[in-house]
Amino acid sequence: MRKVAFKTLAASAVAAIFASGAYGGAVLAPDSDEELRPTGKGWGERAQPGHANPHGSPNTNGISYHGGPLILGTTNVYYIWYGNWSGNTANNILTDLASSIGGSSYFNINTSYYDGNNMSVSNSVHYAGSTPDSYSHGTALSDSAVQGVVSDAITSGRLPKDTNAVYFVLTSSDVNETSGFCTQYCGWHTHGTISGSDIKYSFVGNPDRCPSACEAQTTGPNGNAGADGMASIISHELEEAVTDPDLNAWYDRRGEENADKCAWTFGTTYTVANGALANMKLASRDYLIQRNWVNASGGYCSVSY
Ligand SMILES: [Zn+2]
């Protein structure tokens, strides 16, 4: 996801991103009528001729199913802590998030999405483990290097090979992602073939690298602005990954996936002891997490379903 539709930067930021053509070389202006498919980075690109949404059909909820698989049953979450995270409370904050988001009324929004057999996403997430990676691919990661980080963790046996999972590459604030972290997106998700299996993974950088672009507030509810910002971005990518893991399931005609439609909107907030805003409590922690699109009742952004 990238930070758009937030504060007053939104319109110019969207125009700049759509004009840049940084992905697919065919990124269209927002007023185009042509259907787009998702890139996983929060904006659409032109579908290849002959591959344009073969199963796509509009429904009444503002988002459409395009025939691809969803992640069904319990979704496993793995973290790869890339770079230097020593002494950072992010590990506790984000492990707690992955351990408590399943079963919440927030994640339950994803149960409004289903596949061609009418099988719906489950409100079940399991935090399945983590591994450190001390700069194996340096401090400037390309998209393919991110997949390399995931591949290395699996092929070395540090993490299991799991096709019902999302692997998050979480980078410390001294690490860049050179395809556009902080300028085009704050995180993204995609999939790739690793050891012969379709593996879903996501990049989420530490937004302390660029607070004005990727943090909703500079004091987070858990006292760690970077990790609190990542909690919102991880949640966004996770809900997109379960409803559109291979970028061919649920998205709208602009190529926006469920969470993209509500990016950087939070609904009703409250203030916690340190002055930060929050909008939900998961287990013992408060978080400020962007809303997600409910695929029911005409479609709407919400923090619960
Ligand atoms: Zn997104």
Q: What is the pLDDT of residues 105-118, one digit of tens each?
A: 999 999 999 999 99
Distance 126 CA to ligand 1 centre (A): 21
Closest of 120, 11, 10, 14 to residue 73, by C-alpha: 120
Check if the beta carbon of residue 82 is closer than 8 Å to that of residue 149: yes
Distance 188 CA to ligand 1 centre (A): 6
Distance 292 CA to ligand 1 centre (A): 10
Distance 291 CA to ligand 1 centre (A): 11
pLDDT beneath 70, residues of the chain: 1-34, 46-59
CA angle 177, 237, 212 (to 5 degrees): 55
Confidence (pLDDT) at 211: 97
What gap in Å lies between CA 301 and CA 159, rounded to an integer?
34
Distance 268 CA to ligand 1 centre (A): 21
Confidence (pLDDT) at 33: 53
Distance 260 CA to ligand 1 centre (A): 4
Distance 302 CA to ligand 1 centre (A): 15
| pTM, two decimal places | 0.88
Confidence (pLDDT) at 26: 26
Confidence (pLDDT) at 40: 87
Distance 273 CA to ligand 1 centre (A): 30
Distance 213 CA to ligand 1 centre (A): 15
> Which residues are found with C-beta within 5 Å of the ion, ligand 1?
1, 42, 260
Distance 194 CA to ligand 1 centre (A): 23
Confidence (pLDDT) at 44: 72
